[in-house]
Amino acid sequence: MFHLHWESFFLLACRKVGSSETAKDLVQEAFITLWDRRELLSDESKIPGFLYGVLRNKILQLFEKNEVRLRYVLETARTEPEEAASAHKQLIEKEVAEVIQQAMAGLPSRMKEIYVLKKEKGYSVRQIAGLLNLSEQTVKNQLHLALKRLRAQLSNYHRPLVKTLAIATLFFY
C-alpha cells in the first residue's frame, strides 16, 4: 500500500502545503494512522479513501496551527510598533511641554495664574473668577490672550510636530 500510494499522496500534499519536507511528514503521518488502524480496514479498496481523508485532516490541522501562529505573529507585530510610537509620542509631548513652559514664562503674572488654574488645575471660568475676584468675562479675555500668545510661540516651533500632537486642542476651553 505504501509503495502503491505514497507518490500520489505526496504530490497532493506538496500542492496543498507548498513544501516537500512538510508534505513528506504529513504523508508519513497518514500512513502511520493507517497502520495504527489496520484492523479496522478489512476492505483494501477503501484504503486510498481512508488515506485521503486522513491526509486532508492532517493538512487542515497544519493550516489551523499555522493560522494561530500567524495571528500571534501579527498581534505581536502590531503591538511592538504601537509601543515604539508611544515612546516617540511621549518624547514629543515632553519636548512640547517644555516649549509651552518657556512660553508661559513670558506671560504676565495674572494671565499666567489664570492659565494655570484653568489648564493645569482644571478650574472652571466661574471658579477662577470667584477665586481671583474677577468677572467671568475678564477671565475669558485673559485666557484668550494667553492662548493667543502661546499659539504664537508654538507657531515658531516645529509645525508638523505641533500638528501631530494636535496641540491646538490643548488650548481650547
pTM of the full structure: 0.43
pLDDT, tens only, 94-146 = 777 777 777 778 888 898 889 889 888 889 999 999 999 999 999 999 988 88
> In angstroms, rounded to a whole number, what is the distance separating the alpha carbons of residues 142 and 125?
11
Please determine, for residue 156, whether its predicted confidence score (pLDDT) is greater than 80. no
Going from N- to C-terminal start, the domains of the chain cover 2-75, 106-171
pLDDT, tens only, 39-55 = 887 787 888 888 899 88
Q: Which fold has domain 2-75?
A: Rna Polymerase Sigma Factor; Chain: A (1.10.1740)
> For 133, how many CA atoms within 13 A lie in the half-sphere containing its CB?
0
Helices (DSSP H) in 19-124: which residue ranges?
A: 20-36, 47-105, 109-115
Q: Which of 172, 170, 169, 173 is nearest to 127 (CA)?
A: 173
Angle at 161 between CA 160 and CA 167, to 5 degrees: 105
- pLDDT at res. 28: 92
Q: What is the CATH number of domain 106-171?
A: 1.10.10.10
Provide the mean pLDDT of the chain: 79
